[in-house]
Structure 1
Amino acid sequence: MTDTMFGSENEHWVCPNDRQLALRAKLRTGWSIHTFQSERQRKAQTLEKRELDLIMSVIHRAEQHEIIEQHRIGRLVERLENMRRSAVGNGLSQCLLCGEVFGLLSSSSVLCLDCCMKVCTKCGIETAGSQKRAQWLCKICSEQREVQYHMVSGGAKYGLNSLLIVVAYVLWSALEMNCFVDVFYVCFLAATLGTLDFSLLYDQENNALHCTINKAKGLKPMDHNGLSDPYVKLHLLPGASKANKLRTKTLRNTLNPVWSETLTYYGITDEDMVRKTLRISVCDEDKFRHNEFIGETRIPLKKLKPNQTKNFSNCLEKHYIHPFLYNDKSLEERGRIMISLKYSSQKCGLVVGIIRCAHLAAMDANGFSDPYVKTYLKPDENKKSKHKTAVKKKTLNPEFNEEFFYEIKYADLSKKTLEVTVWDYDIGKSNDFIGGVSLGINANGERLKHWFDCLKNKDKKIERWHTLTNELPGSGYND
């Protein structure tokens, strides 16, 4: 659309075009405009050196505040994640943080107001409620509240005001010179952390989520040389822990890294795809200090369609901590196990396959476990049906690929229950129970369906993923 001019030769009144009308509508500055200037007049209205210096000083101040705030928030979040990783108890019979067992002769327990887990008084912080009653928070939840408070107040206190000044000044200058400026583009330039290209594929048949990290562009420099050493790490929320953390390799001295790596989560169910969110974080690796957070993006898995690859090119954002993504469910999850069942007509027995585990709970101080699996076919009064796999050292995602055989008549199989437990092997003390699952006529949901599918399909191997529960089965399981 062209502008229509009215008035004398020196003063031209012009009907604004659609682009100008759209900009003025966003800025709520009215509908009239006094414009049309020659190229010479436009050049005469360029910004003076003093004005340019003012803009540059504001931008520099905003960047400095942003860096300070980024480091501060990063340290708080890093400390919170370290506390979560170092938690060794189950929050029921043990202190969630230090693992001390509760009892008459040991420490008393208090219940955390936020996560509803039990901690000892040394690992809890007493607060006053609205009715002046004593309320307790575990140190993790107390630290989480602190991080949330600083993240909400930090943006308004530091970088945000300066950025608004820059954006307002640039827009005002553009209006004075009758230039069209995209408001969102200016804001993006003032606060960008970079973009990340990646793709996601949910393989429904194999219960796997494939995450291909392609490349990033325009990352924020974090090192003194104006570059970064970026890598990408993935977490599934809720339930973020070392068990479900995946990461790419680190690329040195670049702001435009190309990874082209595929990271895979196994044991992902349709329920997970509805309930969980994938957090993708870009960080800068530092050999001598803590790694620095650059930015993140989050994808609710319900956006994906089974067996269809979806490509993303997302702008990175700052840390965002939502209480619903760090609730007590993250502490209840014990991991997953993949089991195969087959009744062999030729051998007249049940073949149980222990294939692999995923996202197991960490039981050792180093943030890992030394897991192995035990199986029983019950009822078994003499405990002769016990089988166990080899121990896999220092892993939360072990692969076993072992099979056990139980000689049993097909008619008797419907009366039996297969109990599978996962343990952490310890030297010199009792092994720690990680989680268990029972398959049989008294089970329900996927566990019952798996058992019936085995009974209905002789000589056919049926594989299923099952969620481990934190309830220890019968007394025969004490290890």
Structure 2
Amino acid sequence: WFSEERSKRHHNRLSGCDLVHATIRHRKTKNRGQSSVSAINAALLFACDDFECHNGDTDSLSSSLTEPDPASLKTSSSNSSLHLGYTLSGSMMSLFSSGDFGVVEVRGRIQFSLVYDTQKEELQVKVYRCEDIASARKNRSDPYVKTYLLPDKSSHSKKKTSVKKKTLNPVYDQTLKYKVRIGELRSRTLNLSVWHAEPLGRNVFLGEVEVSLGLWDWTCTQPVWQDLQPRVHLSPNSISSRGTIMLSIKFIPDGFEGGGLPLTGELHIWLREAQSLLVNKGGAIDSFVRSYILPDASRQSGQKTRLVKRSISPTFNHTMVYDGFHTSDLREACAELTVCQRDGLKTHVLGGIRLSCGTGQSYGEAVKWMDSTEEEIAVWTSMIENPNHWIDTRLPIRTDLTPRSE
């Protein structure tokens, strides 16, 4: 059956179906008697988890998904915690930690430097010294520095310097190293916190600094000073983004490939990966992505990737293909992609994106889900204006998706 169907649909494309071996599902589209709506009731033709699916197909119009040079990233001298371009109103670390962080009044500063080794794919955090930090016990402290590469708060992410006894001006000169891809740097936040080591009780918090690596000046390798800050509680509800999602999208009009194929327009969504998924507990999670082409929110429209376990930056490499489209339908439709966390038997939606024209209307009716951001609208519009070309993008997984009315 598959060989016959492949020859009918893809006889002019050498690479189109040779690579569709990972997962294949075939469903019939129900005829609802409404031509405009049935065009959106897309049948799932196939899904592919193979990276080579798009090699040699058509050129991509965007190179935004290529690995960036650290030196090309922005410069920031701000001490505030930022994530994916969104300023947080508190410490990101406060999402993952509980306890009393106000035992002593925070003061002093810390000196450190950041270097990224492209050959080793390694972030090197050198902690030089602290100066004039708070005293935890009778005009003294036994300080050490602890770091996390957030949003990963697992034991794998935790690094510590040695403890310096009875000093408010400790000198460390120690380098803490993280294995991390250069493409993930822009979505990570480095937390450096100073603690007093208490042998017989709880360690005492002395201050912290959070550095958005996406805004760091990677041309600067010299040590810098930053003032230590108190840990300000951050409400989970104030977070506007839970990470980034990297994908490519294209539309193939009907008959575009010649010979009358494809019979109807096809929408291809290639979900590559998500980066730095931020959850309240911190650490690696089990996640997948679910897609719908609205206004059709039926099971036929719904597709999802495989479940990727224990990762904050999961690679999906999964293609969703929808057919039944005319070009005019694209201005009335919306591709909704949501990133979900699987926690035992429960599923939690972390956030998502909506690719559409953002008009607030679909087929003449006002709809709440046509609420795309400017970035999302630009991606969708570029796809419409450039048929049969992959449009690459990296978008924030936003938490403010307007609920769909049933």
TM value normalised by structure 1: 0.45
Taking a change above 3 Å as real, the CA distance of residues 387 and 298 of structure 1, as seen in their structure-2 partners, is closer
Using the alignment, how far apart are the partners of 2:112 and 2:319 within structure 1?
43
1:217 aligns with 2:128: yes
Structure 1 equivalent of residue 246 of structure 2: 338
Structure 1 equivalent of residue 321 of structure 2: 405
Q: Is the 8 A contact 1:358 1:398 kept in 2?
A: yes
**How many angstroms does 1:340 deviate by?**
1.6
Using the alignment, how far apart are the partners of 2:344 and 2:307 within structure 1?
12
Taking a change above 3 Å as real, the CA distance of residues 359 and 459 of structure 1, as seen in their structure-2 partners, is same
Taking a change above 3 Å as real, the CA distance of residues 340 and 231 of structure 1, as seen in their structure-2 partners, is same
Instruction: Say which of 246, 257, 269 aligns to 2:174.
Output: 257
Give 1:154-233 correspondences, 5 Å limit: 195-199=111-115, 212-218=123-129, 232-233=147-148
Structure 1 equivalent of residue 6 of structure 2: none
Taking a change above 3 Å as real, the CA distance of residues 81 and 350 of structure 1, as seen in their structure-2 partners, is closer
Using the alignment, how far apart are the partners of 2:319 and 2:374 within structure 1?
24
**How many angstroms does 1:384 deviate by?**
1.2
**How many angstroms does 1:356 deviate by?**
1.8
Task: Specify the SS of the correspondent of 2:309.
Answer: coil
Using the alignment, how far apart are the partners of 2:294 and 2:376 within structure 1?
16
Give 1:301-340 correspondences, 5 Å limit: 309-315=219-225, 317-321=227-231, 326=234, 330-340=238-248
Using the alignment, how far apart are the partners of 2:155 and 2:356 within structure 1?
33
Instruction: Say which of 304, 312, 318 aligns to 1:396.
Output: 312
Taking a change above 3 Å as real, the CA distance of residues 232 and 431 of structure 1, as seen in their structure-2 partners, is closer
Q: Is the 8 A contact 1:230 1:283 kept in 2?
A: yes
Give 1:43-192 correspondences, 5 Å limit: 84-85=95-96, 147=102, 150-152=103-105
Using the alignment, how far apart are the partners of 1:300 and 1:367 within structure 2?
18
Structure 1 equivalent of residue 394 of structure 2: 465
Using the alignment, how far apart are the partners of 1:282 and 1:446 within structure 2?
39
Give 1:264-303 correspondences, 5 Å limit: 279-281=191-193, 296-297=208-209
Task: Specify the SS of the correspondent of 1:431.
Answer: strand
Q: Is the 8 A contact 1:195 1:217 kept in 2?
A: yes
**How many angstroms does 1:219 deviate by?**
6.8
**How many angstroms does 1:303 deviate by?**
7.1
Using the alignment, how far apart are the partners of 1:245 and 1:452 within structure 2?
43
**How many angstroms does 1:243 deviate by?**
7.1
Using the alignment, how far apart are the partners of 2:391 and 2:199 within structure 1?
47
**How many angstroms does 1:299 deviate by?**
5.2
Q: Is the 8 A contact 1:349 1:408 kept in 2?
A: yes
Using the alignment, how far apart are the partners of 2:208 and 2:344 within structure 1?
40
Using the alignment, how far apart are the partners of 1:370 and 1:288 within structure 2?
37
Taking a change above 3 Å as real, the CA distance of residues 295 and 408 of structure 1, as seen in their structure-2 partners, is same
Taking a change above 3 Å as real, the CA distance of residues 474 and 372 of structure 1, as seen in their structure-2 partners, is same
Task: Specify the SS of the correspondent of 1:257.
Answer: strand
Structure 2 equivalent of residue 415 of structure 1: 332
Using the alignment, how far apart are the partners of 1:387 and 1:329 within structure 2?
28
The aligned amino acid for 2:391 is I
Q: Is the 8 A contact 2:286 2:310 kept in 1?
A: yes
Using the alignment, how far apart are the partners of 1:410 and 1:436 within structure 2?
25
Using the alignment, how far apart are the partners of 1:297 and 1:284 within structure 2?
16
Give 1:355-370 correspondences, 5 Å limit: 355-362=272-279, 369-370=285-286
1:474 aligns with 2:390: no
Moved more, 251-260 or 465-474: 251-260
Instruction: Say which of 433, 436, 443 aligns to 2:352.
Output: 436
**How many angstroms does 1:258 deviate by?**
3.1
Taking a change above 3 Å as real, the CA distance of residues 366 and 200 of structure 1, as seen in their structure-2 partners, is closer
- Higher RCO by CA contacts (8 Å cutoff, separation 6 or greater): 2
Q: Is the 8 A contact 2:144 2:163 kept in 1?
A: yes
The aligned amino acid for 1:339 is L
1:387 aligns with 2:303: yes
Q: Is the 8 A contact 1:231 1:285 kept in 2?
A: no
Using the alignment, how far apart are the partners of 1:404 and 1:310 within structure 2?
42
Moved more, 383-392 or 373-382: 373-382
Moved more, 440-449 or 374-383: 374-383
Task: Specify the SS of the correspondent of 1:213.
Answer: strand
Taking a change above 3 Å as real, the CA distance of residues 359 and 81 of structure 1, as seen in their structure-2 partners, is closer
Q: Is the 8 A contact 1:441 1:448 kept in 2?
A: yes
* Structure holding more helix per residue: 1
Structure 2 equivalent of residue 22 of structure 1: none
The size of the alignment, in residue pairs, is 276
Q: CA RMSD in A?
A: 5.0
Using the alignment, how far apart are the partners of 1:243 and 1:338 within structure 2?
23
Task: Specify the SS of the correspondent of 1:385.
Answer: coil
Give 1:16-55 correspondences, 5 Å limit: none
**How many angstroms does 1:389 deviate by?**
0.9
Using the alignment, how far apart are the partners of 1:86 and 1:233 within structure 2?
12
Name stretches of at least 5 consecutive residues in structure 2 with no aligned partner. Answer: 1-90, 132-140, 165-171, 359-371
Q: Which has the larger radius of gyration?
A: 1
1:447 aligns with 2:358: no
Q: Is the 8 A contact 1:371 1:423 kept in 2?
A: yes
**How many angstroms does 1:216 deviate by?**
3.0
TM value normalised by structure 2: 0.51
Q: Deviations over 1:349-378 (max 9, x none)?
A: 221012222343426x68654211100112
The aligned amino acid for 1:233 is Y
Structure 1 equivalent of residue 73 of structure 2: none
State the identity %: 19
Using the alignment, how far apart are the partners of 2:292 and 2:229 within structure 1?
46
**How many angstroms does 1:385 deviate by?**
2.0
Using the alignment, how far apart are the partners of 1:419 and 1:448 within structure 2?
12
